[in-house]
Amino acid sequence: MKLVLSSDGGAPNDPDPVLLKLITQARLAQQSALTGEANPIVSKYSKRHFWQLLRLSWLAPEITAAIVEGRHPATLTGRRLLRSADVPLSWEEQRRCLGFT
């Protein structure tokens, strides 16, 4: 359960540290997969977790930016993002699936 308080001033929220960590690890997994060099941060994970991270590296740039800036929907948690096995490749469909539209 997550408590969400709306701000009156329209100030951005603090980025979710779990989501930030997942985005960072996703980029490292992608780099490792492309170069063939093991990265010590992501190489310790199981193949399944590595592939989950790798899949997140293909998120729409707007979604990644929203996560980094703390503008993501309150319903988007690290657990939901990592376990969303059916995140489509289409950026428009990703936004719909993850609650951005």
DSSP result, 40-76: TTTTTS-HHHHHHHHHHTTS-HHHHHHHHHT-S-TT-
Q: What is the predicted pLDDT for the residue at 83?
A: 84
Tell me the three state secondary structure of residue 96.
helix
Q: CB neighbours (10 Å) of residue 89? A: 9
> Closest Cα partner for 98 from 47, 60, 69?
60
Identity at 10, one-letter amino acid code: G
pLDDT per residue as tens, the chain (101 positions): 666 555 544 455 789 999 999 999 999 999 999 999 999 999 999 999 999 999 999 999 999 999 999 999 999 999 999 888 678 889 999 999 999 98
